[in-house]
Structure formats: C-alpha cells, structure tokens
C-alpha cells in the first residue's frame, strides 16, 4: 500500500485519504458491487465505517499508527490502530447531556460491521472489522 501521510509509511493522513484507499481497493477487487443499488449501500457502509474509525483514531486515539485493509470479492477486512489504550465509548442516549456531542460512532461501526474486534497493543489498540461486500439477498 502506498503512503499518503509522509510521516508514517502506509498510514493515511486523513479520513478522506483512508476512504479513497478503501474505495480504490473495493472497486478493483469487487467491481460488480457498483452495478446495483444494494452494492452502493454496501460501499457507503464500508466508507462510513472507515471514516469513523480513522477519525476517532486521529481525534481521540492519540493518532493513527497503522492502517491495513484486505478485500476479496465478498468481504472487506480493515485494521485501524491508534496510540491510545482506551476502549471506544458509547453514550446511552438516555444519559446524554443536552449539550453533549458525539458518542454515536462506535455503535454505528458495530451495527454496520459483521465482526468487530479490539486487540490491545503495548502502545495502543487495533480495531479490526469485517464488512461483507455481498449485498444481502
């Protein structure tokens, strides 16, 4: 994978850069996905999850430390690592303050991905997600 950040090899500098990598990889591996409306939704879900994970790593995780993706015709596996050992947080809507912002991204990631795993690292954590690229029947 090519480096987009200049600072760290293979690590996109922004969520937009990460989305571009994911879109390019899915398009080259599963080109038929773009041919259907359901395929468009699957692509949008994959890009939204990518954006959430990378944005959270940059804003709350002390920086993106690794980014890796694998696609087949039927699935996307995405690994995003950051420099924080803190686990993602979910805010229960019933417990939110009126002025509170955020807390929705992690539940969104968990609902769109078929599989989500958090691996503690010595100097942070890695989040791995699996998204099926075959639209539901």
pLDDT in tens, 35-50: 777 888 999 999 999 9
Provide the pairing of β-strand 75-82 with 124-132.
antiparallel
Which position has the higher pLDDT, 58 or 6?
58
Report the number of distinct structural domains present in the chain. Answer: 1
- Domain membership of residue 49 (yes or no) is yes
The model's pTM is 0.85
pLDDT bucket at 67, cuts 50 / 70 / 90: very high
Among candidates 66, 60, 62, 65, which has minimal Cα distance to 103?
60
- Domain membership of residue 128 (yes or no) is yes
- DSSP annotation of 135 reads P
**CA–CA separation, 81 and 32 (whole Å):** 30
Q: Tell me the pLDDT tens digit for each residue of 6-25.
A: 345 579 999 999 999 999 99
What phi and psi values does residue 92 have, to the nearest 5 degrees? -65, 125
- Domain membership of residue 7 (yes or no) is no
Burial profile 82-93: b = 16 or more Cβ within 10 angstroms, e = fewer: bebeeebeeeee
Q: Tell me the pLDDT tens digit for each residue of 68-110.
A: 999 998 999 999 999 999 998 776 666 666 666 667 789 899 9
Which domain does 72 fall in, by range? Answer: 15-91+101-132
pLDDT given for residue 121 in this prediction: 95
Specify whether the CB–CB gap between 77 and 69 falls below 8 A. yes
- Domain membership of residue 10 (yes or no) is no
CATH code assigned at 120: 3.30.565.10
């Amino acid at each position: 994978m090519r480096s987009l950040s200049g600072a760290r090899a293979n690590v996109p500098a922004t969520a937009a850069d990460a989305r571009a990598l994911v879109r390019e990889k899915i398009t080259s591996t599963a080109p038929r996905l773009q041919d259907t409306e359901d395929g468009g939704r699957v692509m949008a879900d994959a890009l939204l999850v990518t954006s959430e994970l990378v944005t959270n790593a940059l804003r709350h995780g002390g920086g993106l430390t690794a980014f890796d993706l694998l696609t087949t015709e039927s699935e996307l596996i995405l690994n995003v690592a950051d420099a924080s050992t803190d686990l993602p947080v979910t805010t229960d809507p019933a417990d939110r303050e009126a002025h509170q912002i955020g807390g929705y991204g992690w539940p969104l990631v968990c609902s769109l991905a078929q599989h989500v795993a958090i691996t503690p690292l010595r100097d942070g954590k890695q989040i791995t997600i699996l998204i099926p690229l075959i639209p539901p029947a």
